Structure 1
Amino acid sequence: MSLNEPQKELKSTVEALIDAGCNYRLDDLANLYAPELIIVMLLPDGSVLNFDYQQNMEFFRRLRDSGAPSLDKTAEFNYIDVREQSGYVMVTRQMDLGDGPKKIVFNLMLKKSNDLWQIYREQAVVINEA
């Protein structure tokens, strides 16, 4: 995928998010996620999980505090779009969040303010066993 400069900047932000999340760096995550964050995850059985900013940060805090190993940072960037101060990234990852490896497609919506990109909406679809 050939990227222009704004798309490269957005990709770099999402790579930083992945690295911070996989290594449980809460201070970095606090800067990368907007306070109004909403996460919606569709599970293979059709059920849906919802998380807000505080619940998401607590999830990573629990992993960090439990001594969980770092998560795999491998990511396939499927689509990146930038429109002025809004960005959209679709990325596919293979992840094990505690119940075996799964293929998960993440749709991230970002906004730029004060020269900083932040994720304010995240939709994840758990496809299947990896």
Structure 2
Amino acid sequence: MTSDAGERRDGTGGGSAPAPDLVVREGELRPIGDDAARLARVAETAGRPALEMGAVVNALNDAGLGSGDALSHASVRFAEQGSTLSRECRHIAGELGSTVSTLGAVEAERVTDLLGATQWLRPGNPAIDIL
């Protein structure tokens, strides 16, 4: 039996590394970023009609109904939240785009390093032919 710390109850240690919380496979980041960009556009436009409630608010207030101010407040908050969601989605899309570009560059660099490091293993290399 093991405890949460990965140590056996008998004091002998053991256990393995914890499983990762999130695994992202190759090719998944770009679609996630694209989805975030689309959601940003939707959120940006969804809040606009809420700000166009002025005539309704005025009509409710003119009729002596107290719900006009509540509607005005709710409309402003809805628009603010839509703007915040849009901004955060644009940020996520940008970060994922940057991550995809960086990972591509790192991968290309690793391939170049690996090819350079294994150059001496190729047939025809005098050091290999001697073996």
Q: Which interval holds the TM-score relative to the shorter structure?
A: under 0.3
Q: Structure 2 length normalisation: TM-score?
A: 0.23
Higher helix share: 2
